[in-house]
């Protein structure tokens, strides 16, 4: 009997996870994540605010951070004040090395938001680049777009310029995932282009570590059809709504009122 009950609970868990994924795909996200994506609090601060009863949805106090909401349409209030979506805005940022992709850092390291200043207010990062990685990072006020772009099922191509120690051989390249092209190789170092279609944490670094090569430089130069170009580290440019539509024709994004 216990074994049968365990199987039944397992099936229910699978159904619940599938339902949550379906709802999230439609723009519904956990409440703590919604508050973070609206630019009001960090994820940790949002979780604490929900647990302490400071957040309501349609007039009812909600104390469960995982409660699914739609940030663009649900009436969410923090300390009695309406949490409204900001005006649609997206920027393309050249993230420098030595900067973390978070709103705050317990170690006191610079963050993308401290670099951007006022230009980053109300925006959420589309995915992450790790501390030692530089390059193209999108930030947007459109939480639905951010979720769609980071969903691995949409297979958005990401292009990286990589430098590793030592000579990378064709046999080693054949064992790697993604599309990998060696531009130049010597006994000292190799310069490689890597295209991946999902953004797993430290994926490029781990790929080369697995074949015995340390990554010494990693820079993302393209995301979908958007390119970094000559944008200087620490600089950003505005990305128009039509530019996003053209770059990602299937993307789910918020309408812009004229």
Q: Which residues are catalytic?
A: 130
- Strand runs labelled E in 197-244: 215-223, 226-227, 236-239
The token pair that represents 41 in the structure block: 């609090």
Q: Answer for the pair 29, 66: CB distance below 8 angstroms, yes or no.
A: no
Q: Answer for the pair 30, 50: CB distance below 8 angstroms, yes or no.
A: no
Distance, in Å, from the CA atom of 131 to the CA atom of 150, rounded to the nearest integer, reads 19
Instruction: Give which of 50, 246, 223 is closest to 125, Cα–Cα.
Output: 223
- Strand runs labelled E in 18-98: 29-30, 55-57, 60-61, 68-69, 76-78, 81-82, 90-95
Distance, in Å, from the CA atom of 69 to the CA atom of 34, rounded to the nearest integer, reads 7
Burial of 229 (0-12, 13-18, 19+ CB in 10 A): exposed
Q: Is 74 helix (H, G, I), strand (E, B) or coil?
A: coil
């Amino acid at each position: 009997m216990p074994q049968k009950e365990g199987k039944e609970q397992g099936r229910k868990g699978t159904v619940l996870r599938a339902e949550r994924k379906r709802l999230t795909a439609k723009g519904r996200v956990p409440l703590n994540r919604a508050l973070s994506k609206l630019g009001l609090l960090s994820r940790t601060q949002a979780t604490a605010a929900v647990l302490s009863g400071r957040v309501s949805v349609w007039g009812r106090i909600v104390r469960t951070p995982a409660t699914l909401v739609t940030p663009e349409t649900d009436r969410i209030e923090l300390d009695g004040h309406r949490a409204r979506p900001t005006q649609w805005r997206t920027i393309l940022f050249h993230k420098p090395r030595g900067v973390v992709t978070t709103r705050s850092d317990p170690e006191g390291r610079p963050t993308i938001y401290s670099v951007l200043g006022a230009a980053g207010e109300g925006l959420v990062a589309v995915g992450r680049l790790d501390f030692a990685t530089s390059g193209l990072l999108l930030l947007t006020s459109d939480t639905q777009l951010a979720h769609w772009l980071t969903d691995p099922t949409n297979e958005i191509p990401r292009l990286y310029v990589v430098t590793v120690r030592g000579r990378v051989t064709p046999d080693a390249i054949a064992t790697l995932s993604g599309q990998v092209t060696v531009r130049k190789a010597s006994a000292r170092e190799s310069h490689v282009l890597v295209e991946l279609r999902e953004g797993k944490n430290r994926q490029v670094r781990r790929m080369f570590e697995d074949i015995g090569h340390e990554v010494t430089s990693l820079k993302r130069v393209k995301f979908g059809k958007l390119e970094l170009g000559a944008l200087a580290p620490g600089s950003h440019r505005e990305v128009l709504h039509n530019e996003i539509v053209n770059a990602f024709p299937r993307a789910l994004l918020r309408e812009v009122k004229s």
